[in-house]
Structure 1
Amino acid sequence: MSIRTREWLRGFLHLGARAEKDSIPTRDIDRQEDTVIRALNMLDDRPGIVLADEVGMGKTYEALGIAAATRHANRRSRIVVITPGPDLNIKWSSEFPRFREMYDFGDDAVPVSSLAEFVQKVRDHSVVVAPVTMFQSGRGTGDQTYLLSLYFYWKQLHGNTANAIMARFRGGDHARIDVCREKFLDVFALCEFEDQLAAAFRRGNSDGAAGLDDLYEASGIDAFENQKAVERALYRARFVLTGKLMPMIDLLIVDEAHKLKNPGSLRTEAMTRVFRKRFRKTIFLTATPFQLDVTELQQVFSLFAEAAGAPKDLMSQVEDLLIAVKDYQAQYEAFQRTWSSLDPAVAAEFCSLYDNEPAALDAVQVPSLQLVARQVAALKTLKTEAIEPGFRKWMIRSLREDKRSYRRHVRKEIRASGAGAFPFLIYERFIAELFRQRRQTHKAAVEINMVSSYAAARQGSILSTDEDIPVEAEAYRRLLREVLGDIESGPHDHPKVSYSVADALDAADRGEKSLIFCSRVATLEQLRRELDAAWESRILERWRRVYRGADATDIFDTREDRDKRQRGRHSLLQSRFHRPQDALYLALREFHLCTATSSSDWALVRLPDIVEEANRILGGLRLGKTSAERLDYRVAKRCVEQAAARLGATAGAISPAEKQRVDELLDVDYTGLGLDALNDDAEHDAIGTESPQWHITDRTAETVLGRQGSLWGRQAELLSALPAKLHVKVVEQLARYLTYKQVPFLADLLASAKAAGISVDPVESSALLEFMPRFWKSKAGRPWAERIEAFLRYFLERDPHQQSEILDGPIRTGDFARHTREGESRERLREAFNTPLYPMILIANEVMQEGLDLHKHCRRVVHHDLVWNPAQVEQRIGRIDRLGSLTSRLRKNDGTVTLDVLYPVIRGTIDERLFRTVKTREKWLEFLLGAPPNFSEYSFTDQEPPPLPEKLSADLAVDLGPRYGSQVLHGQERNSRRSSRPGDSTNLSVR
């Protein structure tokens, strides 16, 4: 067997193929390659491993790299990817085509959605991607009646007995099914699995739910009155039969594997039954192998034990590891208590000795130093002999080594003071009274409603229903309803909602996006409403820089009734930028001679000839009534551009590289339909039956030829990469986006023009048009041009479907803020938020916590509603802390840039307990899985504990990375621990 090396791996796998395009540093590609190599070495000796890299470090591509090596070793291998649900199933399915630059799996990777489809496809295709939710089907009476009838067939139950059982099943509304005619999962005939029926209906020596026959033998027909037990038994039969119909799988990849932590859940039971002894090797992907307690790992490893050829003592190995972990946690807590209470001078002495003269610690006489030295020695021994080797045997975890330097965690303490404290005080008394009366309140959940928003409190079941409660509590409920009703119709703001709104708006003013997480639907909606209203007020302030003292009715449209609209300054100016009869129409349009050719200067020198030719072209056109009667700058521009292109081509002024674009300008339909040759809304009135009654003058021609320094001239190279139809659509929609009411571009433009001495009351078209090239270079205009460029770069990386969703979504609507809504596509929200343009704020619920990349242009996450689970907190942050993120790109040029994580906490409420609890749990998730200890980060007292010695922090950190120290683990560690288990037919080693 050859030792696996990076050079060997690169012979068939190129993980760095997209590195430059996706802004992935070389060191991360090297790390991913090392991870693939180490995983392959570990899988030689083990049935499964956990890929536990921190969120956003490329676990998906590492798993695909291992799958590529599996395929490289055996071209006929079968690979199955199990995803958490339909959304991530789509994401994984799309990753295989993207991965083609690194390794080509061909076209055989197929997604499925149902269990029947899964069993069929896994027989015929080498790579199948399936959601774990497919196991949750089968609740229908048809599926269950079939399985019950199948039991009768196998048990040979007929006549009265079978009828009596059916009478007890689901109210007796269903008849037996002829299993010789009907098919299992509507696909598989009885003859394909008849020999497996005993395993399906009898538990035997296996664990888990009882089989139907176990129930019948224990309690006879009365057993079938226990609906829950019968349904579990039917599911068991379904899963067992499914597994028996499947071929052997060479590599099983399970994404977000922490979701299988609950041994009693249907999905966990399904994974155990269906895949029992039906796979050789497995990879579990999760950034959070345990969430609330380390014992959750036991369930992960129990699934490893289901692999074909798994060692019989696997679970006892795991039990030994978990016992050691419990001991380690207890000793660590004792050490933390000792250290936190240590006199600073004594702590400083220990630090000096540990870092510089560790041997001297054996001779210290100070009792407190002796205690610390003993505790440290015990921790180091346990870590070195049990914890680190125990975890390394099964897990690979790479850390963001610098995340503590660039992640800025900010706990923002909010005080509910004055009148704002009144609702919280009443709420506390109300809940306390219910609790005193021994009424079930789900106290924590109810309190979370109140600290989330007043809307969430009002909609909580305890206030929104008229459930009978003790009279003492009813008085508080009536008062609370009255107070919250007054707040809804009055000026009183919820303290946390007010903070989140103001914080996100301040960030938006700086050009920063914010990702806000909420767990209450009512809060999502309230935040969206208040953000939109408050942003409009801020937009008004920008307009007041131009028109001092203006109010909202001066700037924005108002309606006196349904049919009558009073137009404001914004609307009037906006229409001028899109009305072809106004020269401002040209301000945001593309001058094709500047972007497609280098002949605009040549054209200006030959202006008289071009004007003559342009008028000749104009004379042959037939326009709509308005365009024929009044100068239409859109038509004039096209006539001049076509004239210049025609004369330039004749004079040899067009280079061969420019010929294709010039041919588009020379197309017979160009003057009427534009570059995309589509008769759409943009061509209104450009085609008709009227002869033009105006002519193109020299001045008009000079204006429409454009000048260097236009918005689109800067983007010429990017625009040239787009097909003509898409090119035109992008430019037109971006031009309209810039003039939307909620986009402050026009206000910034006028303020800049006013500062330059240009009249803005009224706005004179030619003067503002003349100013535009200077604006794009100004302090106010440069950010707008940069955002458009960043948008185009991102847009070009998207596939056609994603590009369509972007143009038809945020660019068309111009929504300043978005929030998750039932039925809305997660992918559409992702594409909307990942552009540098609107929306600036995404208010998300738990649906957006996992499996989505939202990192392209956001580096701020706000936990408006905190959760108890630290893994969920990390998953939230991981949406924006990923390889190629905005933070990492900015830090290349400025090492002070941070990724900001905000925790708004209302003082004296459940928020404080939530924060303490989740941070304490986070400590173990972080420390046991590789992070160095950090007492100050998880201290909740006013006095910060002394810093640990730097060397001790490093000594106690558990190293689970693909490298160990400076050693690349190819075969050395593996060979030292190899078990001599014969008969493994899926050895992934080099041959």
Structure 2
Amino acid sequence: MSSREWGALRPEEVSQWITFERGNADWGYESANKTSMAAKQAEGVAGLWNRLAQYDLALLADEVGMGKTMQALGVMALLWKQNPDAKVLVMAPNRDICTHWIREYRGFLREHYKEVDHLVRNLADGGPVHEPQLCKRLPDLQEAVSSGTGHFYLTTIHALSGLLPSDLKDSDDKQRLAERTAREINREILRALDGAGFDLIIIDEAHYFRKAGGGSQRVGAARGFFGSGNKRLAKRALLLTATPSHSSLADVPAIFSYFTDFERDVDQQDAPELLRKHAVRRLRMMEGAADDSGQRRFHNKYSYRHERALPADFGDDLNAELFFALYQKKLVEDAAVSGNNRRFMYGYLEGFESVGVTDPTDNQDSENNDDQVAADSYTTAPDTQVLQALTREYHRRFSKYPAHPKYDKLLQQCVPQELFSAGPDLHEYKHLIFVRRIPSVREITQRVNEAYDELLAKKIVKARGLPKPATVLKDWRASGWSRRFFSDVVAPSDRLTAEERAQLSADDEDIFEQKVTDEEKLSSRIADLFVVKSGRLARTDAANVRLRFRKPESLFSLFMEPASDYLNGRYNTFQRKKVGKRERDSFSDAALATRLQSHGRLTSDSEAGHVAGSGQQTYQSPLPTAWGLMFELLPAADQALLARWRAQDPGILENLGNYLKAGFLYASPVMVELYCWFTQFDPKNNSSNVQVRYRAFIKLAKRELPNSLMFQYFVSAIRTFESLCEKITDHRFADWEKPWSELTSLQNPAWFASGETSNRQRLILGFNSPFYPNVLVATSVFQEGVNLHLQCRKVHHYGIAWTPGDNEQRVGRVDRLFGCVNHRLQQQENTELAIHYPYLNRSFDQEQVASFIRMKHDVEGKMDACRHHDTDRQIDLANAVEGWEDFLRRPDQGNTFADPYPAHLDPAQCPAFDYLPVQSASTEELTNYLRGHLHEISRLHEHDFYRLERSEQHPAAQFLLEATLPQSQRRQPIVAELRYSSELSALVSGTVYYLSLISPLATRAALNANHQEGLARAARRFKAQREEFPLVKLALDKDKANSHFYLTARADLPLFALDDGHKMLSRQEIEQAYHQLFEFADRMEIRLFAHEQDLHKDDLELALSEDEKVLPAVEDEFMPTVRLRRGWCRQQTPFGATGLKEEYLTRSDFHAIRALRFEGRESVPDNLAVLSLNNSVPLLQFYPRGNHVVVQLAFPHGDIQESEQKLLIRWMEHVSNNRVTQSTDGVLEPA
């Protein structure tokens, strides 16, 4: 049986290759608790696989938060394990969710896929064999598939709504036009895939396709794009949704109709039968604390969800109460609103949420506002004109807007009474609020920020010690917490010395234009005080204090640095530079340089600059940082975690330090706390000695820290940092050189997400961190596919959801595995997920909430089991609901249930044969093959051979050979790296690595110090040697400017990994490349440095170990000689014959390639850009010749095989035709 057939799969087999316990490679299904989520996920992968094998269609309908993405990734991985050439398409609602898929994919490979098998994970860096390609538009997907350099594509459901030009979007014929356009794309993709289509398509949030009819553009486009019969886009389809019967059971056949051919009409299909055949649906069980016997308890959602109704009254505000009474009377009278039947749609009326003061236009072109999502977030409603007319009349009579008590009720829940005491855990400040009305999202954001401003202002006024603080606070409040009042009254003194004024001069990045935008009207006015602006009142006292803690020239910047040993170490030295006629001290930069030097990381341009030209000065006594002081206060487990990270990779702690600094100074009330400490300390210390002043501040901080917000944020950040990096953001765990710029833009306690919000990814990051925003107000754009669970356990339905399915999706943003609720359940059994429904008491709003709660309660059990039918979206005021509060969910440990559609299939429904993976060379076999050849080559040349420990700087390096040239006794170290390019490998069947032999030549500084035009001279020197050494290319790696690997000589050879393909790379081929390389590198080094440099292995800072392991000799297998294809030529060299193929590029062709593949500045000359291309483009060499640039293939001629020629030629054609596989890192920014 062919391995490409979909054989039967069991959970036990799934767990041979995949662990569903993160990072636990020993986990297996046989010994797992079958109630655990890990066991259910293994069962899910097997169950889905078998359904796909039998029926070509499977539905994963697990409850929200059960890891549907993880199980789908498991199916993808096992597909590639049996068919390495399989093409997979993932379609998710929008780019935010596509971003999440890519992040989950990388995490799945790193933490869950057990082995490097060259089929799913590659040997070079343990990363994906198949790089994801994100295509924003369907034409982009068509182009990417046609390029032939990918196996894993992602696009958006929204792309189906963007096929027509704007002038046709309102056409009466838009559905037909969209279907025709999509069908053409379908045709081109099928042509590129030889008519077979994708091997698997995965549809995330498949309920988006629950409308089988209607006249929308998306329905037509979906029909044309997915195709039917023998024109179907994919052989098999995996559908994901937690709510397959989102509105009714009729949704199920409607969704399926896009991906399978029914014999009868859609409306005649039996939905329960379809679900029994195709669906896997289990209900979430969260692991909790252990019982007395040590066994873990498991909890379903009904055991911890606590719904509360929050009635809002008018109190003594008679005018506001009369306003709403009149409003309700108008609703009943106005036929345009009620339709004369006294029935209203849930959440549809604006007066239930706001008083119609603001009405900004939302961005209806946003991909997240498509179709039903846009309908869920109203800008205008039937009652808008009634409401606005009444509001204008009210304002004319009373010179103010009517109060809306529902806002006040919400604020009572979302804004703490006290912020700066050692109170509740920080996650208790996190609140997720859902609204239906777009005006509400802005109004709530503004009100929450105003309420937080009250707390922050009180803290500042108290710290300033002003006379009559209550009067000052009242007057400041009346001014709208203005910047002028702060500078004139609250903090009028200028505490800057002349030296400090020079130190704290604002950079361009600090200065914001002083103009009021719509968003600024919603922002925190207190947070704004800490921002440096242009114009008058540019720098307040608050802004100056933040600059002190941020600017390297201020000693107080040291306070924000990690401890010198990342635990509790102090600093002994700082740096002093002469700038012009003045001396300038640097403190935080010097601290960074101290840490980097302690573990050999002072390698990048920016960090090298910290010590260049600096004189080291010694502190009068060692100085601590906040980190070091707080380390002593940490529980033992958190101290151990920091120590473990330090041993694992100091880059993790550098990254954590940058994260904390951004959060403390920008995205939390910690900056206000620091300002208050500085204010209290500063007047008492007039010393001109900055070190004396710093020690005095440390004395105060040491007293305040144990009960401070800063310490609470420190603890919370440490405990959630790893999960945040791996699950929420694309910021890698140890990537300390990438700034946390998202946090610096999150300076408000509350913010909103709607269709008009750009860069929603930063809000997702901030809300999942301990930092701002504490309160996130969202329309339906955050209703699906977004994880907001790490810090939050409180959801508020300010505007109720349209359907129970929508309501469940909302709550599912925080009710997820491994989030705040799950973590608390493991600590204490009485944990609750708070779900609030605020409403206007004795109003239509109460009737609306009451009716919805009753209806939701009635259908929840049926919805869990996928058995419910149509739900009524209207409020029937003629049938008031009595005793409706009894239908609110309260924690109930006795509410148990069975899984509606378990994963297991009867063996009779599974394929008759077993799953069969492709056999590939093991990691050890491949490594030993290269080691054996390289070791023998070094022995024949009497050169030294070493194994290399894997390092961050050279993750793909495996061996080092050090050549000794017999005549001069000069040395030439050569590193052997096994590298991988998904773009290259995808051009042929199977997996292809390439062996890079690399000889380091020069750092940038050494090159330029020896020759003013060092690189240009190197290029000229190389030109004269090219014919003698055709296998060698000169390459430039700009990211290693301070390493000897900045300029290198290099030779690349392809290595096929599957079956016995690696044996095509013979010892003779490797030896020829190696011999050319060390001879050429030595000549180049002499001509560049005139015998002043002779690099040895010890100059490279590599961890070496002598290879003492005795390996059996690796013999070359006989490979018949293959004739060179047309276009190749044979060139004889002193080292053997070489096959060459060259292609001339016009200047325009080269510039097109340069624009796609060169990451440097446009001003870099072409002759230097080619050196960078030689580094980034494997197996090809670029070099200038006259008015052209030549792209060249070179390969040892002796036994080149047909497969090798085919790969090399396809690669040259692909690169020369200006095609490129886009890196996902550059296109993930949400719209």
The TM-score normalised by the length of structure 2 is 0.53
Residue 48 of structure 1 and its aligned partner are, at CA, apart by: 1.8
Q: Look up the match of 1:228.
A: 172
Q: Look up the match of 1:537.
A: 454
Q: 1:454 aligns with which of 332, 351, 355?
A: 355
For the structure 1 residues 520 and 856, does the alpha-carbon distance in structure 2 shift closer, same or farther, using more than 3 Å as the test?
same
Q: 2:394 aligns with which of 468, 483, 492?
A: 483
For the structure 1 residues 899 and 726, does the alpha-carbon distance in structure 2 shift closer, same or farther, using more than 3 Å as the test?
same
Alignment of 1:135 onto 2:160: yes
Q: Deviations over 1:315-372 (max 9, x none)?
A: 69x74x45xxxxxxxxxxxxxxxxxxxxxxxxxxxxxxxxxxxxxxxxxxxxxxxxxx
For the structure 1 residues 305 and 918, does the alpha-carbon distance in structure 2 shift closer, same or farther, using more than 3 Å as the test?
farther
Q: Look up the match of 2:1153.
A: none
1:817 maps to a residue whose letter is: A
Q: Look up the match of 2:804.
A: 870
Q: 2:129 aligns with which of 106, 127, 134?
A: 106
Alignment of 1:126 onto 2:151: yes
Alignment of 1:710 onto 2:647: no
- 1:852 and 1:49 map into 2 onto residues whose CA distance is 23
Question: In the TM superposition, what are the counterparts of 1:684-763 in structure 2 within 5 Å?
Answer: 700-704=619-623, 709-711=628-630, 717=643, 720=646, 731=657, 734-735=660-661, 737-738=663-664, 743-744=669-670, 746-747=672-673
Contact 1:557 1:566 in 2 (8 A): no
1:542 maps to a residue whose letter is: K
For the structure 1 residues 796 and 68, does the alpha-carbon distance in structure 2 shift closer, same or farther, using more than 3 Å as the test?
closer
1:115 maps to a residue whose letter is: L
Greater percentage in strand: 2
- 2:780 and 2:885 map into 1 onto residues whose CA distance is 35
Q: Look up the match of 2:1075.
A: none
Q: Look up the match of 1:66.
A: 75
Alignment of 1:820 onto 2:829: no
Residue 945 of structure 1 and its aligned partner are, at CA, apart by: 8.9
Residue 872 of structure 1 and its aligned partner are, at CA, apart by: 1.6
Residue 33 of structure 1 and its aligned partner are, at CA, apart by: 0.6
Contact 1:399 1:930 in 2 (8 A): yes
Question: In the TM superposition, what are the counterparts of 1:8-47 in structure 2 within 5 Å?
Answer: 8-18=13-23, 27-47=36-56
- 1:141 and 1:775 map into 2 onto residues whose CA distance is 60
Q: Which of 769-778 and 520-529 deviates more?
A: 769-778
Alignment of 1:260 onto 2:209: yes
For the structure 1 residues 884 and 392, does the alpha-carbon distance in structure 2 shift closer, same or farther, using more than 3 Å as the test?
same
Q: Look up the match of 2:715.
A: 786
Q: Look up the match of 1:272.
A: 223
Residue 858 of structure 1 and its aligned partner are, at CA, apart by: 1.5
1:272 maps to a residue whose letter is: R
Number of aligned residues: 756
Residue 759 of structure 1 and its aligned partner are, at CA, apart by: 10
Contact 2:751 2:775 in 1 (8 A): yes
- 2:26 and 2:321 map into 1 onto residues whose CA distance is 52
- Aligned identity (percent) is 19
Q: Deviations over 1:695-746 (max 9, x none)?
A: 96xxx52153669942478786488589999977874674475356971555
For the structure 1 residues 134 and 468, does the alpha-carbon distance in structure 2 shift closer, same or farther, using more than 3 Å as the test?
closer
For the structure 1 residues 660 and 951, does the alpha-carbon distance in structure 2 shift closer, same or farther, using more than 3 Å as the test?
closer
Q: 1:83 aligns with which of 92, 108, 112?
A: 92
Residue 574 of structure 1 and its aligned partner are, at CA, apart by: 4.8
Question: In the TM superposition, what are the counterparts of 1:379-398 in structure 2 within 5 Å?
Answer: 391-398=275-282
Q: Deviations over 1:542-587 (max 9, x none)?
A: 3466548523479987416996649987567556555778765544
Q: Which runs of 5+ in 2 are unaligned?
A: 2-6, 114-119, 122-127, 286-299, 363-377, 489-513, 515-534, 687-692, 869-879, 919-1231
Q: Give the CA RMSD over aligned residues.
A: 5.3
- 2:887 and 2:446 map into 1 onto residues whose CA distance is 43
For the structure 1 residues 485 and 662, does the alpha-carbon distance in structure 2 shift closer, same or farther, using more than 3 Å as the test?
farther
- 1:774 and 1:50 map into 2 onto residues whose CA distance is 58
Contact 2:554 2:587 in 1 (8 A): no
Contact 1:412 1:902 in 2 (8 A): yes
Contact 1:866 1:911 in 2 (8 A): no
Residue 435 of structure 1 and its aligned partner are, at CA, apart by: 1.7
- 1:728 and 1:959 map into 2 onto residues whose CA distance is 46
Alignment of 1:493 onto 2:516: no
- 1:624 and 1:21 map into 2 onto residues whose CA distance is 62
SS at match of 1:888: helix
SS at match of 2:325: helix
The TM-score normalised by the length of structure 1 is 0.64
Q: Look up the match of 2:302.
A: 404
1:810 maps to a residue whose letter is: L
Q: 1:622 aligns with which of 575, 578, 582?
A: 578
- 2:624 and 2:385 map into 1 onto residues whose CA distance is 76
Residue 34 of structure 1 and its aligned partner are, at CA, apart by: 0.5
Greater percentage in helix: 1
For the structure 1 residues 486 and 795, does the alpha-carbon distance in structure 2 shift closer, same or farther, using more than 3 Å as the test?
farther
Alignment of 1:559 onto 2:484: yes
1:420 maps to a residue whose letter is: A
Q: Look up the match of 1:859.
A: 793
Alignment of 1:434 onto 2:334: yes
Residue 390 of structure 1 and its aligned partner are, at CA, apart by: 6.7
Q: Look up the match of 1:341.
A: none
1:941 maps to a residue whose letter is: G
Contact 2:245 2:863 in 1 (8 A): no
- 1:711 and 1:28 map into 2 onto residues whose CA distance is 36
For the structure 1 residues 702 and 947, does the alpha-carbon distance in structure 2 shift closer, same or farther, using more than 3 Å as the test?
closer
Alignment of 1:676 onto 2:607: yes
1:814 maps to a residue whose letter is: Q
Residue 447 of structure 1 and its aligned partner are, at CA, apart by: 6.2
SS at match of 1:884: coil
Q: Which runs of 5+ in 1 are unaligned?
A: 145-169, 171-226, 323-386, 604-609, 646-657, 964-968, 981-985
Residue 776 of structure 1 and its aligned partner are, at CA, apart by: 3.4
- 1:63 and 1:437 map into 2 onto residues whose CA distance is 45
- 2:666 and 2:887 map into 1 onto residues whose CA distance is 53
Alignment of 1:776 onto 2:705: yes
1:503 maps to a residue whose letter is: Q
Q: Deviations over 1:660-710 (max 9, x none)?
A: 516679x9x9xxx9x93457xxx9xx999xx99xx96xxx52153669942
Q: Deviations over 1:226-257 (max 9, x none)?
A: x635x544444444444445233332221111
Q: Look up the match of 2:742.
A: 809
Contact 2:204 2:239 in 1 (8 A): yes
For the structure 1 residues 806 and 874, does the alpha-carbon distance in structure 2 shift closer, same or farther, using more than 3 Å as the test?
farther
- 1:705 and 1:534 map into 2 onto residues whose CA distance is 36
2:138 maps to a residue whose letter is: L
- 1:89 and 1:947 map into 2 onto residues whose CA distance is 34
- 1:952 and 1:888 map into 2 onto residues whose CA distance is 19
- 1:566 and 1:590 map into 2 onto residues whose CA distance is 31
Q: Look up the match of 2:598.
A: 661
Residue 824 of structure 1 and its aligned partner are, at CA, apart by: 0.5
Residue 299 of structure 1 and its aligned partner are, at CA, apart by: 0.5
SS at match of 1:622: strand
1:113 maps to a residue whose letter is: K
SS at match of 2:773: coil
- 1:794 and 1:17 map into 2 onto residues whose CA distance is 11
SS at match of 1:81: strand
Contact 1:77 1:250 in 2 (8 A): yes
- 2:548 and 2:72 map into 1 onto residues whose CA distance is 54
- 1:304 and 1:710 map into 2 onto residues whose CA distance is 60
For the structure 1 residues 687 and 776, does the alpha-carbon distance in structure 2 shift closer, same or farther, using more than 3 Å as the test?
farther
2:454 maps to a residue whose letter is: S
Q: Look up the match of 1:362.
A: none
Higher relative contact order (CA 8 A, sep 6+): 1
SS at match of 1:280: coil
2:321 maps to a residue whose letter is: A
Residue 916 of structure 1 and its aligned partner are, at CA, apart by: 3.8
Question: In the TM superposition, what are the counterparts of 1:940-979 in structure 2 within 5 Å?
Answer: 941=883, 944=886, 957=897, 959-962=899-902, 969=904, 971=905, 973-975=906-908
SS at match of 2:814: coil
Residue 288 of structure 1 and its aligned partner are, at CA, apart by: 0.7
- 2:786 and 2:321 map into 1 onto residues whose CA distance is 38
Residue 6 of structure 1 and its aligned partner are, at CA, apart by: 2.6
- 2:175 and 2:772 map into 1 onto residues whose CA distance is 48
Contact 1:513 1:841 in 2 (8 A): yes
Q: Deviations over 1:67-92 (max 9, x none)?
A: 22333333343332222233333333
Contact 1:253 1:285 in 2 (8 A): yes
